[in-house]
Structure 1
Amino acid sequence: MATRADYLKLHFIVFLWGFSAILGKLVSIPTMEMVFFRALLAALGLAIVIYARKESFTVPPKSLLYLILIGFVVALHWVSFFGAGRVANVSVSLVGFATNSLWTAVLEPWLNRTRIKKFELVLGCLVLFGLYVIFSFDFQYKLGLLLGIMAGLTSALFSIFNSRMVRTIPSFTIAFYEMIGCFLGLALFLPVYKMVWGTHEAMLYLPTLSDWLWIALLAGVCSVYAYSTAVELMKKISVFLIQLTLNLEPVYGIIMAVLIFGASEKMGTNFYVGTGIIMSAVIVYPFLRKRFDQRKLMPK
């Protein structure tokens, strides 16, 4: 059973992930390179933690391949998430990411072969309506929002996959091999990206001193600590509740972005109306979940 401390941990890591969008905006090198070096530092940091805790690096070969492939999904998630912040702004990236609850409501029952809970699907549709409100006006950041939505989809996918893996493998070990998978995926994709879509001469941009600082914070705080903690919480808290709580990430992130970046983060009325609709799903969920659980316990 989840305790109050578990829920506080969940909200704290959501706050950290909201702050990660700010850190990503501060890094000067392109998104691909930023994620590439973040994954490398995160893998090294997790290796140190596992060694210090005297935990095992050993996993079955089939599970190792599975974790590496999940790492590829994490790479796509980070590139989409931080790419959205670059082509649009932090606020747009975070709101697109909030669609993770919709994706989870649809994908988790399908992948786990369980029944879809109607109230979760309704809340997912509420998120969809909030996005419609944003898109229905003359919204200039459509590409950024679409990338944010891709970040939400990939977040739902690797969370569902991790909820299975954490039953048999320690959370730090899961995070370690997924960071290796993220690094390897980008190492394979970066040359292709540079040749096909790259507009710069350099094949690989190296971080500046200040970039290393921001990337190290991303890797250490938002990956080593937050990511592994989120995986551990999946033992006690449902994937959908974790994903729905992640919808608070835009609230934390947008407030911080407006305070730090000022006018560039200010949006039109329709954006905030749509965001309010999306955020209402977070407020409504605990009440609907409690009612659903009570009805399940009632004798038939």
Structure 2
Amino acid sequence: MQIHKDHLKLHFIVMLNSFLPLILDKIKLEYEIIVFYRMFAAFMILGAYLYIRKEKFIQPTKEVIILLLSGLLVAAYWSFLLLSVKVGNVSVALVGMATTSLWISFIEPAFFNTKTKPFQSLIGINAIIAVYVIFQSDFEYSRGLLFGIIGSFFSALLTIISSQLSKKYKPMVVTFYQMLGGWIGMTVFLLIYANFIHVEKLQMKPSWSDVGLILGLAFVFSIYAYSIFIEIIKTLSAFTVSLVNNLTPVYGIIFALILTEDGKTMTNGFIAGTLMLLFSVFSYPILIYYLNKYQMQKEKNKN
């Protein structure tokens, strides 16, 4: 029964996350400043919440370092997602996000020392061809798609690592340390960026509308949605979570086409490549299901 509840929670979070790129597109600050403020607000709010609830913070230094370092993956994922939105558009970012489960299907065997199934390579090749088709179609936002795909790689790593961390610690505690670690990482990045890379002064002061949107991101996505996500992956596998997450671009692109003018920038090559990419994403679980069913039947016949 709990698994069914977790599935419902996951689908709700997916629906919620499909609006994320649309919201990010409305914030006028640079991507690194948005991530910096978002993570700062999230860990401060969570820290106050955990203190009031008298939750125990993790003491062993080694454990804290692991959690803080995993926060760098959160910062990297959000940064590339924002870059994808800013350089491309909402729909492009969502297509890039759809590749997370494909990344997991190749990364997860390395973590758990399992063999890669032959059809995974075929699906991966199809996905690569799909991306190639998009890039060769004179599509205006190819760089945005590339950033989205890179971001999905960090998302895949984060999903796998968080699935392990969630079995040892409470979701809110994991989220707190990851937000803190990500904020520290972004602070160091901004210091280096401002002093050695970006010659112009960074615009750090947000407008009131930006403040409202960033606080909304911190409450709704960084704390509520992400903590629910950490809780869910205690019972659901990393791949199952990422698979349902693949509905995010489907919902998001529909919302983007309705609420924005993204449809005007889509070439035939982009549409064809996107369909090929989504085929790779959704065909994987079907093949896994029938393969497992076949192996179970084979074992049953032996007995």
Alignment TM-score, normalising by the size of structure 2? 0.90
Match for 2:45: what amino acid? G
1:5 Cα shift?
A: 2.3
What is the RMSD computed on CA atoms of the aligned residues?
2.1
Helix, strand or coil at the partner of 1:206: coil
Indicate the residue corresponding to 2:247 in structure 1: 248
Match for 1:162: what amino acid? S
1:214 Cα shift?
A: 0.8
1:93 Cα shift?
A: 1.4
Q: Deviations over 1:242-282 (max 9, x none)?
A: 22222222112222222222257641122122222222345
Quote the sequence identity (%). Answer: 36
1:126 Cα shift?
A: 3.5
Over 3 Å counting, the alpha-carbon distance change for 1:59 and 1:242 in structure 2 is farther
Unaligned segments of structure 2, at least 5 residues: none
Alignment of 1:106-125 (within 5 A): 106-125=106-125
Helix, strand or coil at the partner of 1:14: helix
Is 2:256–2:262's contact at 8 Å kept on the other side of the alignment? no
Is 1:73–1:158's contact at 8 Å kept on the other side of the alignment? yes
Is 1:91–1:265's contact at 8 Å kept on the other side of the alignment? no
Indicate the residue corresponding to 1:140 in structure 2: 140
Q: Deviations over 1:102-158 (max 9, x none)?
A: 211111111222222444454444433322221231122222111111101100111
Unaligned segments of structure 1, at least 5 residues: none
Match for 1:114: what amino acid? T
Indicate the residue corresponding to 1:275 in structure 2: 274
Alignment of 1:104-253 (within 5 A): 104-198=104-198, 200-202=200-202, 204-253=203-252
Indicate the residue corresponding to 1:287 in structure 2: 286
Q: Which protein is bigger by CA-based radius of gyration?
A: 2
Over 3 Å counting, the alpha-carbon distance change for 1:198 and 1:117 in structure 2 is same
Over 3 Å counting, the alpha-carbon distance change for 1:243 and 1:147 in structure 2 is same
1:85 Cα shift?
A: 0.7
- Name the CA distance, whole Å, in 2 between partners of 1:242 and 1:109: 16
Give the aligned length.
299
Helix, strand or coil at the partner of 2:261: helix
**Are positions 1:6 and 2:10 aligned together?**
no
1:21 Cα shift?
A: 0.8
- Name the CA distance, whole Å, in 1 between partners of 2:99 and 2:113: 22
Alignment TM-score, normalising by the size of structure 1? 0.91
Helix, strand or coil at the partner of 1:236: coil
1:69 Cα shift?
A: 0.8
- Name the CA distance, whole Å, in 1 between partners of 2:47 and 2:165: 18
* Larger CA deviation: 270-279 vs 164-173: 270-279
Match for 2:81: what amino acid? F
- Name the CA distance, whole Å, in 2 between partners of 1:78 and 1:96: 13
Match for 2:184: what amino acid? L
* Larger CA deviation: 288-297 vs 70-79: 288-297
